[in-house]
A and B are shown apart, each in its own frame.
Chain A
Amino acid sequence: MRRRLKVYMPFLENQFKRNLAYKGSFYLFILTSLFGPFISYYLWSAIYGSSGGGMLGGLTQSEMIIYVFMSYVTSSLVTVGVSDAISDDVMEGTVAMTLIKPIDYRMRLIFMALGEALYRFLAPVIFVWIGLEIYKAAVLGLGVTPVINILLYILSVIMSIFIHLLFDFCFGMVAFVTTYMFGMNMAKEALLGFLSGQLIPISFFPQVLQQIFEFLPFSSMIYVPVMVYLGKYSGMELAFVLGRQLLWIVLLYAFGSYLWSRITKRLIVLGG
């Protein structure tokens, strides 16, 4: 295990360093990505205002504000993907360069993505998060989030990162078949924003849809950790949602391994 970490750690570091090298574009990305949660914030404020207070979808207005920003924090960490890297590798034929080395392709991609997630955690996630906690305590008067919730959230979000990565790896396998996947990627992102609860909490949907969404792995990516953070689960229910996250990791890992072994059998390396 330690030896494996030593092999793949450089990929994590490498990705982290690469991000540092392209700072300009990254800060621009942060700035534009922050528009989203602020628009949601004003939108929900208007909705709650006109509904005359009270709960909507099981959330109070203050909880909704926390939901909006925590869903931003969570999705920043969770949506680091591997399918872009796969499609680049396939299109440029560089996948061969990984295959001639004694390393696992998926593991390499995962560690690269973790490097990216680490970078995003340091900028901007941690600042938005702290800002939110200050706002929560000083303006909303709710006090800071209990440590146990924060710890459970961290556990849940780490599992979310792996669920998304492993899902995205399976999705990226499509690139080997189609060799081009810009359109597919757009569709995936739109669907993910909707099904993961990133745009609207899943509790807002009709009961039937909620059950379907809960059944899919996407709700475990963003909705679950944010609800954990809000302290909406307790006891058996908490154990159940965390257990379900773990189950998704196992299932997606196995499915990815299966796809990979199938794909490599019929692999076509472009160029040369």
Chain B
Amino acid sequence: MSENSMIEVRHICKEFVSAKKYPGLKGAFKGLISREKTHKLAVDDISFTIKEGEIVGYIGSNGAGKSTTIKMMTGILTPTKGTCLVNGIDPCRNRKKNAQNIGVVFGQRTQLWWDLPLSESFTILKEIYNVSDKDYEERMEFLNRVLGLEEFFAQPVRNLSLGQRMRADLGAALLHNPPVLYLDEPTIGLDLVVKDNIRAAIKEINEKYHTTVILTTHDIEDIEELCSRILIIDQGKLIYDGSLTDLKERYGTRRKVVMEVQDTEQAKRLPLNEYLGVAKDAYETQADQDSSTITISFDKNHLQVSDVIEQMMRHTQVKDIKIFETELAEIVKAIYKHSA
């Protein structure tokens, strides 16, 4: 294990075996006597290493195997094959020891005690994780500041709004200051303001405590704002592991220049390919009469944004210019489709 790697996953596989189900009432009876099993490889030979202090986005479509991987890293599930080390500990062999090192937030579930006031849940967690009084006070002060817990600290968990509950859950996962934090869809169902708060909190925690964060999400903004590195999983296989900039570099080379012009018809008719000295299909032009804009999209490896703008400004009256990169969401969509 290299010096500052926090998580090492080596050729991990998880296969689920379940009794085969048949459709209909007849099928239900058949199921009673049948011994046939279906095998599903939820995670198929995945390896990666995560360094201390990294925030890694773990993304994939529904059922891709994200949660299964997370569950193996937390020690809830035992891998069928392969090994996994978190902070030097095998989570499956040493579940309790590993649990002391990790914090987990499952966005769809709560780890708090439903009937009890939030404050009680924190007191229980303090005992469970053996947090000293001094650490507890210091940590609570920090969490109060970052997550604003005190406004609902005395309320029973069942009375909290989803946003409050998620903040509370995040706080609960961090009380014992774990070196590793797993966040499984931490912003699901939250409004924009709360999402921003949660993201800011994650960032601050990562900076202050150097916490390693693994985040699964369907919200591309989470990834853009938080993660320097992303892992993409599809049908149980790891299909991308690299930085966000690399991903954009590799798949996101389309650029879109939107110009507000005096006369859209005239601008559209301009022989831009001649001015630039390229083939006619090197770019696409679209005119919109209503907003009097013209949109030129092209691959930035073939055309320079500055050249396009320069030529357009020379030949027509341009009032406003906007430049768009390909959005990450589109890249990810393209990758999912591509591998399917």
Which A residues are closer than 8 A to B by beta carbons?
3, 6-7, 9-11, 14, 17-18, 21, 93-94, 96-97, 99-104, 264-269, 271-272
- B287-319 near A? 1/0 per residue, CB < 8 Å: 000000000000000000000000000000000
Q: A101 vs B125: C-alpha distance in the bound complex, in angstroms?
A: 9
Return chain A residues, CB-CB under 8 Å to B130. Answer: 3, 7
Q: A102 vs B125: C-alpha distance in the bound complex, in angstroms?
A: 10
Q: Is B115 an interface residue (CB 8 A)?
A: yes
Q: A198 vs B67: C-alpha distance in the bound complex, in angstroms?
A: 46
Q: Is B113 an interface residue (CB 8 A)?
A: yes
With A99-B74, A99-B75 as contacts: A14 and B129 at CB distance below 8 Å: no
Return chain B residues, CB-CB under 8 Å to A271. Answer: 108
Cβ-defined contact, B115 with A21, below 8 A: yes
The 8 Å CB contact of A269, one of B76, B95, B104, B129, is: B76
The 8 Å CB contact of B104, one of A93, A100, A264, is: A100
CB nearest neighbor in B for A93:
B109
The 8 Å CB contact of A100, one of B76, B113, B127, is: B76
Provide a sorted-by-A list of 11 A–B residue pairs whose CB atoms are within 8 angstroms. A10-B123, A93-B109, A96-B76, A96-B106, A99-B74, A99-B95, A100-B99, A102-B100, A267-B77, A269-B76, A269-B77
Least Cβ–Cβ distance between B309 and chain A, in angstroms: 48
Q: A142 vs B292: C-alpha distance in the bound complex, in angstroms?
A: 105
Cβ-defined contact, B96 with A97, below 8 A: no
Q: Is B128 an interface residue (CB 8 A)?
A: yes
Return chain A residues, CB-CB under 8 Å to B278. Answer: none
Q: Is B209 an interface residue (CB 8 A)?
A: no
Cβ-defined contact, B78 with A264, below 8 A: yes
CB nearest neighbor in A for B123:
A10
The 8 Å CB contact of A102, one of B18, B99, B111, is: B99
Please give the number of chain B residues whose Cβ is less than 8 angstroms from any Cβ of chain A in the complex.
Answer: 32
Q: A177 vs B127: C-alpha distance in the bound complex, in angstroms?
A: 32
Least Cβ–Cβ distance between A250 and chain B, in angstroms: 23
Q: Is B51 an interface residue (CB 8 A)?
A: no
* B248-302 contacts to A (CB < 8 Å): none
Least Cβ–Cβ distance between B314 and chain A, in angstroms: 57
Least Cβ–Cβ distance between A271 and chain B, in angstroms: 8
Cβ-defined contact, A9 with B127, below 8 A: yes
Q: A93 vs B77: C-alpha distance in the bound complex, in angstroms?
A: 13
Q: Is B37 an interface residue (CB 8 A)?
A: no
Q: Is B28 an interface residue (CB 8 A)?
A: no
Cβ-defined contact, A265 with B76, below 8 A: no
Contacts A14-B120, A268-B16, A272-B109 given; 4 further ones with Cβ under 8 A?
Answer: A3-B130, A14-B124, A17-B115, A264-B95
Most buried by A among B75, B115, B116, B127: B127
Least Cβ–Cβ distance between B107 and chain A, in angstroms: 9
Least Cβ–Cβ distance between A97 and chain B, in angstroms: 5
With A96-B71, A100-B111, A101-B99 as contacts: A17 and B116 at CB distance below 8 Å: yes
Cβ-defined contact, A272 with B106, below 8 A: yes
Cβ-defined contact, A103 with B109, below 8 A: no
- B59-103 near A? 1/0 per residue, CB < 8 Å: 000000001000100111110000000000000000111011010
CB nearest neighbor in A for B115:
A18
Q: A267 vs B128: C-alpha distance in the bound complex, in angstroms?
A: 23
Q: Is B184 an interface residue (CB 8 A)?
A: yes
Least Cβ–Cβ distance between B48 and chain A, in angstroms: 21
Cβ-defined contact, A102 with B76, below 8 A: no
With A10-B124, A102-B96 as contacts: A94 and B77 at CB distance below 8 Å: no
With A272-B67, A272-B106 as contacts: A10 and B127 at CB distance below 8 Å: yes
Return chain A residues, CB-CB under 8 Å to B127. Answer: 6-7, 9-10
Return chain B residues, CB-CB under 8 Å to A269. Answer: 71, 76-77
Q: A101 vs B67: C-alpha distance in the bound complex, in angstroms?
A: 17
Least Cβ–Cβ distance between B56 and chain A, in angstroms: 19
CB nearest neighbor in A for B125:
A101
Q: A6 vs B129: C-alpha distance in the bound complex, in angstroms?
A: 11
CB nearest neighbor in B for A102:
B99
Least Cβ–Cβ distance between A23 and chain B, in angstroms: 14
Q: A9 vs B106: C-alpha distance in the bound complex, in angstroms?
A: 26
* B116-147 contacts to A (CB < 8 Å): 116, 120, 123-124, 127-130
Least Cβ–Cβ distance between A34 and chain B, in angstroms: 27
Q: A73 vs B170: C-alpha distance in the bound complex, in angstroms?
A: 44
Cβ-defined contact, A103 with B96, below 8 A: yes
Cβ-defined contact, B78 with A267, below 8 A: yes
Q: A34 vs B120: C-alpha distance in the bound complex, in angstroms?
A: 35
Return chain A residues, CB-CB under 8 Å to B184. Answer: 272
Cβ-defined contact, A99 with B97, below 8 A: no
Least Cβ–Cβ distance between A220 and chain B, in angstroms: 31
Return chain B residues, CB-CB under 8 Å to A268. Answer: 16, 18
Cβ-defined contact, A97 with B111, below 8 A: yes
Return chain A residues, CB-CB under 8 Å to B115. Answer: 17-18, 21
Return chain A residues, CB-CB under 8 Å to B78. Answer: 264-267
Q: A9 vs B127: C-alpha distance in the bound complex, in angstroms?
A: 9
